[in-house]
């Protein structure tokens, strides 16, 4: 049948693009990771030496832990976004306007978001500390300078930055549910909770699974705000894998080691994705009856 | 791999700057600016006409980091020089690419990995430049130093761009680092400009007691804190010990150097720096000084426009800014006329440029013209000699230019001096030291390890 | 359609379940409104920010009014640099890349989820791996790829990169939607003897309007704000995009924050409008499909 040709026609353009522009860099990163290279001139093959350094690199493991924490926080926060999307997609007056307003922050570039939150976290005249002082707290913390707080402080803008993204996806998925199904349930006397948990959530399960993968992997390789707001500091206490990789490759001129970190990150992401897909796999996907 | 090569170069940098004295700049300086505006266009036109008679069309690609928006004056001078040059050399077209500092550095990495550097571009000294030289990407420019530019540079500046005795870039900027202070705040608390560290300590304590942040610091950028350590190290252990340690010839465990690290932490304990400094960028830290909330701010002379000519800063504030030299420490080996500073960006020519000769003569022209204009038009102190007598400058500039001439030693910024990987560790350790996450001894230990690893 | 219209009426028909319910709704609305205000504040902040100078940006509280409204920041943005050219480049690069990504990703997702073939899982896996590469690892290899293709300093390098790098995430999002699409319509079409292409373009594509709008919004935002690839692959000023406008005000030692604010403000407006237009389409997803079905 013509099906084979159709499949080829539909899949090949994308596949070629991805193979050429993503897989070539992946392979080359893998190769650089096995060399000693300052980014100039020839690479020197050193086998797995970068990886054995990596295993003993305390700062690397520290940043890996931070990335993992971010991934966990991101996945947990999905629940909140889902609730917001459920509310917005329900029978709420003005939902259409509210939804648009809620998504505005996601339009801001990282540069703008970073500036905004730097002003919020500023130790002396920041919004947050001004509020705390007016509440009678004498010596509020210097959020981004405090090694024990900085990581959690910076998680807030990161999660906030992506809230719109996930709410948007959930909202679209929920709106995609045929209203006849919801209507039928309502007529049968189902409560709003029942409709949400028994009908809506199961129907968008596939979308939820996808967002878990996206949130997890996206967090593992997260870079932007960390780089602009704290640059991984102070003392690496907000360093994540991607910022560490960048520091090694572009700041310390250790491109070989940086690539090893990058490649390791890729492998971690792969494993995480596989685990998530396995954990969330269902025997048969839900279909409309 | 190049163990032997690095140490002498860095040493040369340090030492030549030690010897610089910059004392002879006046005698030479008198001649250059006065004569050059008159003869430069005609002279260079005729010389280049005879040297390069070919009218072959060439395009020189130039990459720099002075965008029109943030660096209007620099950008204007660059464009003006290019225009003049193109007028004099109708066969030459110069194409500019402008990137902001950070992006510029990233792009340099990518371009150098692919051996696709622009014909002319900007580089930093010593540690930054070295891998490019080792990778054969920069062309030696020594012949330019023998030509029209001979004796035009402040001594010790071009040496920072030399590797194995060859110079690979010509500097455009030269800066030293004073401590700026707010005269009004000092007056209010009846404080005198300190000349000894003990007096400085008193100033800090008085200010802190009165709820004024003594020192503005944004140490997220880390090199900002490095300046403080460098000065303390210089004043306590002496310039020689400091540069030996940086070059791997001595240990950071030297008693004086460890003492310097301790003093940094003492300052932190005394609340000498504004709150949350480790989480603030230099811009944010600086604003504490600019807003009159902090009394002192240590920064390079590149800040001078903000204290003199910048109309966006209230006149009132600009008038109240003074500077002092980092005070001497009792029993320390340092001298008050020893500075932390050095040349900033310099121009390189790519070794594999198809228009290398044309690029070189453009660089020669550029550096000369830049030196004539940069300080008066953009407030950038060039690495070529400036005759303070013949140019109209705000007093703060004149005073600091005179200080440069009196300097007994100029120690290059640590993060510029060190190789990139060691510099990163140094900067991280600085932040840790200020944040009291390491002890002075650990700080010294990590430095020794980093310097050793880089050799 | 008729079903959708009855929905609000049904909700309104059962209002009187007691005061508790009313209070609950009241609280919910208050909370929703409060969050909405919080989400608008960043825009207000950005507006004020764009009208201040460095002194004020750092000194005054973020949400304070500028003491002097510095419209000259906007003047700076419009007069310095080729903002018009950047703007034009941003618009067309974003539109073309987004359209290509969404179309190609739709084709792939359709082929993977709606057609039966052995390697479909494997191919899907190949795309998913694309999610995982950190951008900075890709810069140097990509530069040499484009150099070999002679695409450095040419717009296709950006379009290809944007499409390739956004492809995995776009496919992933579509995947979730496609798997929950009812199959009856297609099955009916197959029985009627429709060709694959016809089924895709006439039936499935319109039915997925909601996910297409969603992914288009996401792609649009990514492409609009992207600057690392622009800086790396593009040298000529006339080919750069609006994000360069921001960098124009970042200096070697000092940065003009007010002008950056103005650039950010100017560059957010088009995307805000595009977002409002596209986001209205989200609701029209299944409805469109079911009308045709």
pLDDT value of position B2: 41
Return the percent helix, strand and coil in chain A, to nearest 5: 75, 0, 25
Inter-chain residue contact A101 with C36, CB threshold 8 Å:
yes
Give the tens place of pLDDT for each residue, B222-278: 999 999 999 999 999 999 999 999 999 999 999 999 999 999 999 999 999 999 999
pLDDT value of position C285: 52
Please give the average per-residue pLDDT across B433-438, as a whole number: 95
Q: How far apart are CA B4 and CA C181, in angstroms?
A: 69
pLDDT value of position B53: 47
Q: How far apart are CA A74 and CA C254, in angstroms?
A: 35
Give the tens place of pLDDT for each residue, B82-125: 999 999 999 999 999 999 998 999 999 999 999 999 999 999 99
Q: For residue B6, count other CB atoms closer than 10 A to its CB.
A: 23
- DSSP per residue over C39-71, as a string? HHHHHHHHHHHTTS-HHHHHHS-TTSPPSS--T
The DSSP 8-state label assigned to residue B192 in this structure reads: P
Q: How far apart are CA A255 and CA B131, in angstroms?
A: 12
Interface test with A, best of B226, B276, B420 (most A CBs within 10 A): B276
Confidence of residue C117 (pLDDT cuts 50, 70, 90): confident
Please give the average per-residue pLDDT across B408-418, as a whole number: 93
Inter-chain residue contact B424 with A247, CB threshold 8 Å:
yes
pLDDT value of position A283: 53
Confidence of residue A79 (pLDDT cuts 50, 70, 90): very high
Q: Whole-number mean pLDDT of chain B?
A: 87
Q: Whole-number mean pLDDT of chain A?
A: 91
pLDDT value of position C159: 97
Give the tens place of pLDDT for each residue, C67-86: 888 898 898 888 876 788 99
Cα-based angle B6, B9, B11 (whole degrees, multiple of 5): 105
Selecting from C36, C142, C214 the residue whose C-beta is nearest the C-beta of A98 gives: C36
CB contact at 8 A, B340 and B411: yes
Contacts of A43 in chain C (CB under 8 A): none
pLDDT value of position C63: 81
Whether the pLDDT of residue B34 is over 50: the answer is: no
Lowest mean pLDDT among A196-210, B17-31, B45-59, C65-79: B17-31
Contacts of A187 in chain C (CB under 8 A): 10
> Regarding beta strands B58-64 and B92-98, do their DSSP bridges make them parallel or antiparallel, or are they unpaired?
parallel
Residue ranges per structural domain of chain B: 3-175+342-412, 178-333+418-453
N-to-C CA span, chain A: 30
Interface test with A, best of C52, C127, C136, C231 (most A CBs within 10 A): C136
pLDDT value of position B173: 94
Please enumerate residues of C whose Cβ is less than 8 A from a Cβ of B.
53-55, 58-59, 76-77, 80-81, 139-140, 143-144, 147, 152, 227-228, 231-232, 235-237, 247-257, 259
Look at B4 and C69; give whichever has higher pLDDT: C69
Whether the pLDDT of residue C8 is over 80: the answer is: no
CB contact at 8 A, A211 and A170: yes
**A with B: how many residue pairs have Cβ under 8 Å apart?**
98
Span B178-333+418-453 CATH architecture: 3-Layer(aba) Sandwich (3.40)
pLDDT value of position C3: 38
Min CA distance, C236 vs chain A (Å)?
A: 22
Min CA distance, C4 vs chain B (Å)?
A: 51
Contacts of B65 in chain C (CB under 8 A): 252
**Assigned CATH topology for domain B3-175+342-412:** D-Maltodextrin-Binding Protein; domain 2 (3.40.190)
Helix (H, G, I), strand (E, B) or coil at A285: coil
What H or E segment, with its residue span, contains residue B106?
A: helix B101-113
Give the tens place of pLDDT for each residue, B162-199: 999 999 999 999 999 999 999 999 999 999 999 999 99
ipTM of the complex: 0.91
**Count of positions (residues) in chain B:** 455
Cα-based angle B48, B51, B56 (whole degrees, multiple of 5): 85
pLDDT value of position B271: 96
The DSSP 8-state label assigned to residue B162 in this structure reads: E
Whether the pLDDT of residue A289 is over 60: the answer is: no
Give the tens place of pLDDT for each residue, A250-266: 999 999 999 999 999 99
Give the tens place of pLDDT for each residue, B345-372: 999 999 999 999 999 999 999 999 999 9
Name the residue among A82, B47, B302, B341 with its Cα closest to residue C251.
Answer: B302
What is the CATH code for A58-280? 1.10.3720.10
Inter-chain residue contact C54 with B287, CB threshold 8 Å:
yes
Give the tens place of pLDDT for each residue, B370-395: 999 999 999 999 999 888 788 889 99
What H or E segment, with its residue span, contains residue B294?
A: strand B294-298
Whether the pLDDT of residue B30 is over 80: the answer is: no
In this structure, what are the phi and psi dihedrals at residue A285, rounded to the nearest 5 degrees? -75, 150
Give the tens place of pLDDT for each residue, A120-175: 999 988 899 999 999 999 889 999 999 999 999 999 999 999 999 999 999 999 98
- B174 — alpha (psi -120 to 50), left (phi > 0) or beta? beta
Look at A282 and C96; give whichever has higher pLDDT: C96
Q: For residue C244, count other CB atoms closer than 10 A to its CB.
A: 27
Domains of chain C: 81-292 (1.10.3720.10)
Q: Whole-number mean pLDDT of chain C?
A: 85
Inter-chain residue contact C140 with B113, CB threshold 8 Å:
yes
Please give the average per-residue pLDDT across C269-289, as a whole number: 76
Measured CA distances, B119 to A99, B62, B453, C115, C152 (Å): 52, 6, 33, 54, 16
Selecting from C59, C144, C252 the residue whose C-beta is nearest the C-beta of B71 gives: C252
What lies within 8 Å, CB to CB, of A135 at 6+ separation is: none
Look up residue B245 and give its two tokens: 């340690």
Q: How far apart are CA A240 and CA C33, in angstroms?
A: 35
Confidence of residue B22 (pLDDT cuts 50, 70, 90): very low
Q: How far apart are CA B228 and CA B161, in angstroms?
A: 24
Q: How far apart are CA B349 and CA B122, in angstroms?
A: 9
pLDDT value of position C19: 79
N-to-C CA span, chain C: 12
- A288 — alpha (psi -120 to 50), left (phi > 0) or beta? beta
């Amino acid at each position: 049948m013509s099906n084979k040709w159709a499949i080829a026609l539909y899949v090949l353009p994308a596949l070629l693009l991805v193979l050429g522009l993503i897989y070539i860099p992946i392979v080359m990163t893998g190769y650089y990771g096995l060399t000693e290279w300052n980014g100039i001139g020839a690479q020197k093959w050193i086998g797995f030496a970068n990886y054995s350094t990596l295993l003993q690199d305390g700062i690397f493991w520290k940043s890996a832990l931070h990335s993992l924490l971010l991934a966990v926080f991101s996945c947990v926060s999905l629940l909140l976004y889902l609730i917001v999307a459920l509310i917005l997609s329900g029978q709420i007056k003005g939902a259409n306007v509210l939804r648009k307003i809620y998504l505005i922050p996601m339009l801001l570039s990282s540069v703008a978001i970073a500036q905004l939150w730097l002003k919020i976290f500023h130790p002396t005249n920041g919004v947050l500390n001004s509020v705390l002082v007016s509440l009678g707290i004498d010596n509020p913390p210097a959020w981004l300078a405090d090694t024990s707080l900085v990581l959690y402080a910076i998680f807030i803008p990161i999660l906030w930055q992506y809230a719109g993204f996930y709410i948007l996806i959930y909202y679209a998925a929920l709106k995609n549910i045929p209203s006849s199904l919801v209507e039928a349930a309502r007529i049968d006397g189902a409560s709003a909770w029942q409709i949400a948990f028994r009908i809506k959530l199961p129907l968008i399960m596939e979308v939820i699974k996808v967002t878990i993968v996206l949130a997890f992997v996206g967090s593992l390789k997260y870079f932007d705000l960390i780089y602009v707001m704290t640059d991984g500091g102070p003392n690496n206490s907000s360093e994540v894998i991607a910022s560490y990789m960048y520091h090694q490759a572009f700041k310390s001129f250790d491109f070989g080691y940086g690539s090893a970190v990058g490649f390791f990150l890729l492998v971690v992401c792969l494993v995480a994705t596989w685990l998530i897909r396995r954990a969330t796999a269902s025997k048969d996907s839900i279909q409309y009856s | 791999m190049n163990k032997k090569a690095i140490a002498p170069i860095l040493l040369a940098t340090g030492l030549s700057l030690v010897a610089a004295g910059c004392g002879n700049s006046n005698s030479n300086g008198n001649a250059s600016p006065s004569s050059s505006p008159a003869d430069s266009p005609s002279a260079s036109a005729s010389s280049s006409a005879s040297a390069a008679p070919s009218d072959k069309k060439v395009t020189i690609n130039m990459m720099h980091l002075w965008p029109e928006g943030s660096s209007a004056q620099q950008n204007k001078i660059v464009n003006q020089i290019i225009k003049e040059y193109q007028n004099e050399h109708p066969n030459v077209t110069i194409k500019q690419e402008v990137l902001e500092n950070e992006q510029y550095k990233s792009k340099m990495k990518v371009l150098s990995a692919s051996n696709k550097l622009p014909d002319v571009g900007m580089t930093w000294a010593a540690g930054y430049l070295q891998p490019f030289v080792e990778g054969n990407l920069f062309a030696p420019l020594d012949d330019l130093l023998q030509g029209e530019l001979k004796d035009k540079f402040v001594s010790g500046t071009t040496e920072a761009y030399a590797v194995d005795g060859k110079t690979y870039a010509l500097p455009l900027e030269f800066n030293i680092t004073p401590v700026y202070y707010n005269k009004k705040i000092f007056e209010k608390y009846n404080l005198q400009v300190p000349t000894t560290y003990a007096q400085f300590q008193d100033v800090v304590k008085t200010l802190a007691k009165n709820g004024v942040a003594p020192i503005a610091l944004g140490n997220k950028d880390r090199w900002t804190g490095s300046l403080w350590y460098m000065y303390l190290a210089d004043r306590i252990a002496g310039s020689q010990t400091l540069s030996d340690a940086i070059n791997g010839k001595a240990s950071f465990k030297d008693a004086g150097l460890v003492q310097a690290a301790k003093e940094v932490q003492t300052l932190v304990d005394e609340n000498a720096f504004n709150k949350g400094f480790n989480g603030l960028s230099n811009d944010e830290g600086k604003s504490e000084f600019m807003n009159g909330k902090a009394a002192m701010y240590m920064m390079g002379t590149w800040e001078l426009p903000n204290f003199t000519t910048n109309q966006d800063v209230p006149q009132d504030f600009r008038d109240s800014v003074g500077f002092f030299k980092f005070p001497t420490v009792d029993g320390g080996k340092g001298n008050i006329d020893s500075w932390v500073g050095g040349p900033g960006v310099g121009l390189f020519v790519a070794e594999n440029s198809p228009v290398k000769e044309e690029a070189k003569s453009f660089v020669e022209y550029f550096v000369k013209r830049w030196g004539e204009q940069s300080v008066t038009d953009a407030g950038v102190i060039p690495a070529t000699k400036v005759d303070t007598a013949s140019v109209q400058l705000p007093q703060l500039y004149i005073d600091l230019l005179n200080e440069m001439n009196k300097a007994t030693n100029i120690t290059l910024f640590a993060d510029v001096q060190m190789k990139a990987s060691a510099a990163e560790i140094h900067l991280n350790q600085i932040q840790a030291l200020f944040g009291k996450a390491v002890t002075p001894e650990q700080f010294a230990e990590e430095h020794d390890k980093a310097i050793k690893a880089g050799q | 359609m008729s079903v959708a219209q009855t929905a609000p009426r049904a909700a309104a028909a059962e209002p009187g379940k007691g005061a508790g319910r009313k209070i609950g709704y009241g609280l919910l609305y208050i909370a929703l409104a409060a969050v909405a205000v919080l989400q608008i504040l960043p825009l207000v902040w950005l507006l004020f920010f764009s009208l201040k100078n460095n002194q004020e940006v750092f000194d005054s509280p973020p949400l304070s009014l500028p003491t002097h409204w510095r419209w000259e920041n906007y003047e700076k943005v419009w007069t310095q640099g080729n903002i018009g050219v950047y703007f034009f480049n941003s618009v067309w690069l974003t539109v073309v890349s987004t359209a290509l990504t969404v179309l190609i990703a739709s084709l792939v997702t359709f082929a993977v989820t709606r057609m039966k073939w052995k390697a479909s899982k494997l191919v899907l896996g190949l795309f998913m791996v694309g999610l995982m590469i950190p951008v900075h690892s890709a810069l140097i290899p990509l530069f040499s790829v484009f150099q070999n293709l002679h695409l450095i300093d040419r717009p296709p390098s950006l379009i290809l990169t944007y499409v390739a790098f956004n492809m995995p995430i776009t496919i992933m999002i579509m995947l979730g939607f496609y798997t929950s699409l009812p199959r009856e319509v297609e099955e009916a079409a197959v029985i009627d003897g429709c060709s694959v292409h016809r089924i895709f373009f006439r039936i499935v594509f319109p039915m997925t309007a909601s996910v297409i709008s969603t992914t288009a919004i996401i792609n649009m935002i990514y492409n609009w704000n992207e600057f690392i690839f622009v800086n790396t692959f593009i040298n000529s000023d006339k080919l750069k995009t609006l994000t360069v406008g921001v960098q124009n005000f970042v200096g070697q030692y000092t940065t003009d924050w007010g002008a950056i604010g103005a650039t950010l403000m100017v560059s957010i407006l088009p995307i805000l409008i595009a977002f409002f237009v596209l986001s209205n389409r989200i609701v029209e997803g299944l409805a469109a499909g079911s009308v045709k079905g």
